[in-house]
Amino acid sequence: MLRIQRRGKLPVVAQVKSQGTDCPVINISSDGICLARRNSLPKEKVVDLIFNIPGEIDPVSCKAKVYWCRLEGDFYKIGLRFTQITEEDKERIMQFVIGHSSSLVN
54: domain CATH number is 2.40.10.220
Q: Are 15 and 24 in contact (CB under 8 A)?
A: no
28-85 pLDDT, tens digit per residue, is 888 999 999 999 999 999 999 999 988 889 999 999 999 999 999 999 999 999 999 9
pLDDT at 5 over 60: no
Q: Where are the beta strands (DSSP E) in the chain?
A: 13-16, 21-28, 32-37, 46-51, 60-72, 75-84
- Does 28 reside within a domain? yes
- Does 71 reside within a domain? yes
Whole-model pTM?
Answer: 0.82
- Does 40 reside within a domain? yes
Domain span including residue 69: 13-97
- Does 6 reside within a domain? no
pLDDT at 106 over 60: no
- Does 7 reside within a domain? no
Helix (H, G, I), strand (E, B) or coil at 6: strand
pLDDT at 90 over 70: yes
- Does 57 reside within a domain? yes
- Does 52 reside within a domain? yes
Alpha-carbon distance of 39 to 27, in angstroms, equals 18
Q: What's the structural domain count of the chain?
A: 1
